[in-house]
Structure 1
Amino acid sequence: MNLINRSIQYALSAETGNTDSVVVGVYGKSDNLEINGTLTIVADDLDEGTTFDDLSKKQLFALATKKLPTLLPTLAYTNYQFFVQNDTPVRLTAYSDLSNNGSYISLSSTLDQSDFTDKAIESVGYEDVKSAVKTILSQEFPTS
């Protein structure tokens, strides 16, 4: 998935004027996933001896996207809806979100019968949807 940088916000210390954290807006879309998020980068995410002011927009975006594979498995699945054609479910869209220590992610995943190998799409449940989305995420955002 091609991710783009939608925004960068710097949080400055009122006492020192130094950058305390940076919030990076991330967006991406593939055939069956759409992700929109804001990821907070804190000093612990930086290499030792590096400050936020040492980093370019490109480097800050790289730090934000590096966090995605560890955050995505913790998404909460809020709901899913079927799309029906001729009284038969043909696909479904699952909606997920995450709020974790200043990072916020929303994800919509469009699934069809090919994502459910052992049961018909009309009989899938919450755990089936969750598992299918997890499989797609692990392919799009490998952790290694």
Structure 2
Amino acid sequence: MQIINQSIQYQMETSTGNTTSVVVGLHGKSDKLEFSANLAVVAADLEAETTFDDLSKKQLSTLAIKKLPKLMPTLAYSNYQFFVQNDVPVRLTAYSDLSNNGSYISLSSTLDQSDFTNKAIESVGYEDVKSAVKTILSQEFPTS
């Protein structure tokens, strides 16, 4: 999956001007997934003796991207929508999001019959969709 840094926003302490956190905007897309994310990078994410001002845009993006494997499986699923051809469902798009500790992720997942091996796509339900998306996420964002 190609992930692009779209923005970096520094949060600074008003009295000292020191950077207290950074929000990194990311966008990623593969055949089955597309997401937009604003991920908070906080001091605890930095190595000892490192400040935000020591890090380049690329390093900050890398820190944010490292958070994705942990956050993606915790997405909440809001809805899904079937796409029908000749009165037969051929694919569906599932919509998911997460808002957690200053981070936000919005994900859309496009699934077809190949994502549901045990039942026909027209008979899948919420739990089937949720399971299929989690399988794809584990492939795209392995945790180990």
TM-score by length of 2: 0.99
Give the letter aligned to residue 49 of structure 2.
Answer: G
Give the letter aligned to residue 53 of structure 1.
Answer: D
Q: 5 Å matches for 1:103-142?
A: 103-142=103-142
The percentage of aligned residue pairs carrying the same residue is 79
1:52 & 1:38 partners in 2: Cα distance? 17
Identify unmatched segments of 5+ residues in structure 1: none
Partner of 1:101: 101
Give the letter aligned to residue 99 of structure 1.
Answer: S
Q: Secondary structure at 1:105's aligned position in 2? A: strand
2:73 & 2:49 partners in 1: Cα distance? 30
2:80 & 2:71 partners in 1: Cα distance? 20
Partner of 1:56: 56
Q: 5 Å matches for 1:80-91?
A: 80-91=80-91
Is residue 18 from structure 1 mapped to residue 13 from structure 2 by the alignment?
Answer: no
Number of aligned residues: 144
1:76 & 1:110 partners in 2: Cα distance? 16
2:99 & 2:57 partners in 1: Cα distance? 23
1:39 & 1:32 partners in 2: Cα distance? 22
TM-score by length of 1: 0.99
**Misfit runs of 4+, over 2 Å:** none
Give the letter aligned to residue 25 of structure 1.
Answer: G
Give the letter aligned to residue 38 of structure 2.
Answer: T
Q: Secondary structure at 1:3's aligned position in 2? A: strand
Task: Tell me how large the CA RMSD over aligned residues is.
Answer: 0.4
CA-CA distance at 1:134 after TM superposition: 0.2
1:143 & 1:57 partners in 2: Cα distance? 24
CA-CA distance at 1:63 after TM superposition: 0.1
